[in-house]
Structure 1
Protein backbone atom coordinates (compact mmCIF):
# COMPACT_ATOMS: atom_id res chain seq x y z
CA UNK A 1 0.00 0.00 0.00
CA UNK A 2 1.49 3.35 -0.96
CA UNK A 3 1.46 6.46 1.22
CA UNK A 4 -1.55 8.00 -0.55
CA UNK A 5 -3.72 4.93 0.02
CA UNK A 6 -2.60 4.75 3.63
CA UNK A 7 -3.50 8.41 4.14
CA UNK A 8 -6.97 7.85 2.69
CA UNK A 9 -7.48 4.81 4.92
CA UNK A 10 -6.30 6.65 8.02
CA UNK A 11 -8.54 9.61 7.23
CA UNK A 12 -11.53 7.28 6.95
CA UNK A 13 -10.56 5.74 10.29
CA UNK A 14 -10.28 9.20 11.82
CA UNK A 15 -13.71 10.31 10.59
CA UNK A 16 -15.39 7.14 11.87
CA UNK A 17 -13.69 7.29 15.26
CA UNK A 18 -14.32 11.02 15.56
CA UNK A 19 -18.06 10.48 15.09
CA UNK A 20 -17.99 7.93 17.90
CA UNK A 21 -15.92 10.25 20.10
CA UNK A 22 -18.37 13.12 19.62
CA UNK A 23 -21.11 10.74 20.79
CA UNK A 24 -19.20 10.24 24.04
CA UNK A 25 -17.02 7.19 23.40
CA UNK A 26 -13.73 8.09 25.09
CA UNK A 27 -11.81 5.15 23.59
CA UNK A 28 -12.78 6.31 20.11
CA UNK A 29 -11.26 9.71 20.91
CA UNK A 30 -7.95 8.03 21.62
CA UNK A 31 -8.11 6.13 18.34
CA UNK A 32 -9.03 9.32 16.46
CA UNK A 33 -6.02 11.14 17.94
CA UNK A 34 -3.74 8.22 17.03
CA UNK A 35 -4.98 8.31 13.42
CA UNK A 36 -4.34 12.08 13.26
CA UNK A 37 -0.81 11.56 14.56
CA UNK A 38 -0.09 8.94 11.91
CA UNK A 39 -1.63 11.16 9.21
CA UNK A 40 0.69 13.98 10.24
CA UNK A 41 3.77 11.77 9.88
CA UNK A 42 2.67 10.39 6.52
CA UNK A 43 1.86 13.85 5.17
CA UNK A 44 5.47 14.84 5.68
CA UNK A 45 6.67 11.70 3.90
CA UNK A 46 4.24 12.20 1.00
CA UNK A 47 5.23 15.85 0.64
CA UNK A 48 8.87 14.76 0.35
CA UNK A 49 7.95 12.16 -2.30
CA UNK A 50 6.10 14.74 -4.37
CA UNK A 51 8.98 17.22 -4.05
CA UNK A 52 11.45 14.55 -5.19
CA UNK A 53 9.27 13.72 -8.22
CA UNK A 54 9.14 17.41 -9.13
CA UNK A 55 12.91 17.81 -8.87
CA UNK A 56 13.74 14.75 -10.97
Structure 2
Protein backbone atom coordinates (compact mmCIF):
# COMPACT_ATOMS: atom_id res chain seq x y z
CA UNK A 1 0.00 0.00 0.00
CA UNK A 2 2.98 2.28 0.58
CA UNK A 3 3.86 2.40 -3.11
CA UNK A 4 0.26 3.16 -4.03
CA UNK A 5 0.35 6.13 -1.67
CA UNK A 6 3.52 7.32 -3.42
CA UNK A 7 1.65 7.20 -6.75
CA UNK A 8 -1.07 9.43 -5.36
CA UNK A 9 1.49 11.85 -3.90
CA UNK A 10 3.40 12.01 -7.18
CA UNK A 11 0.25 12.76 -9.16
CA UNK A 12 -0.73 15.50 -6.73
CA UNK A 13 2.73 17.03 -6.89
CA UNK A 14 2.75 17.38 -10.68
CA UNK A 15 -0.72 18.85 -10.96
CA UNK A 16 0.57 22.43 -10.82
CA UNK A 17 3.21 21.77 -13.48
CA UNK A 18 0.64 20.14 -15.74
CA UNK A 19 -1.55 23.20 -15.36
CA UNK A 20 1.38 25.49 -16.22
CA UNK A 21 2.28 23.44 -19.28
CA UNK A 22 -1.17 22.96 -20.76
CA UNK A 23 -2.70 26.32 -19.91
CA UNK A 24 0.27 28.69 -19.84
CA UNK A 25 2.54 27.03 -22.39
CA UNK A 26 5.44 26.76 -19.94
CA UNK A 27 7.86 24.32 -21.61
CA UNK A 28 9.99 23.85 -18.48
CA UNK A 29 6.90 22.65 -16.64
CA UNK A 30 6.30 20.19 -19.49
CA UNK A 31 9.77 18.76 -18.92
CA UNK A 32 9.01 18.29 -15.23
CA UNK A 33 5.72 16.60 -16.11
CA UNK A 34 7.50 14.21 -18.49
CA UNK A 35 10.06 13.29 -15.81
CA UNK A 36 7.34 12.72 -13.24
CA UNK A 37 5.41 10.55 -15.68
CA UNK A 38 8.51 8.41 -16.22
CA UNK A 39 8.88 8.06 -12.44
CA UNK A 40 5.20 7.14 -12.27
CA UNK A 41 5.70 4.48 -14.93
CA UNK A 42 8.57 2.91 -12.98
CA UNK A 43 6.59 3.00 -9.76
CA UNK A 44 3.55 1.45 -11.44
CA UNK A 45 5.71 -1.38 -12.79
CA UNK A 46 7.09 -2.00 -9.30
CA UNK A 47 3.54 -2.22 -7.97
CA UNK A 48 2.56 -4.63 -10.74
CA UNK A 49 5.51 -6.88 -9.91
CA UNK A 50 4.74 -6.77 -6.19
CA UNK A 51 1.07 -7.63 -6.76
CA UNK A 52 1.95 -10.53 -9.05
CA UNK A 53 4.44 -11.95 -6.54
CA UNK A 54 1.95 -11.68 -3.69
CA UNK A 55 -0.84 -13.20 -5.76
CA UNK A 56 1.30 -16.15 -6.88
CA UNK A 57 2.72 -16.83 -3.42
CA UNK A 58 -0.79 -17.51 -2.12
CA UNK A 59 -1.29 -20.49 -4.41
> Could you state the TM-score of these two structures normalised by the residue count of structure 1?
0.83
Tell me which structure has the larger Cα radius of gyration.
2
Runs of 4+ off more than 6 Å: none
Partner of 1:55: 56
Runs of 5+ in structure 1 lacking a partner? none
RMSD over aligned CA atoms reads 1.2
Partner of 1:7: 7
The total of aligned residue pairs comes to 55
Partner of 1:36: 37
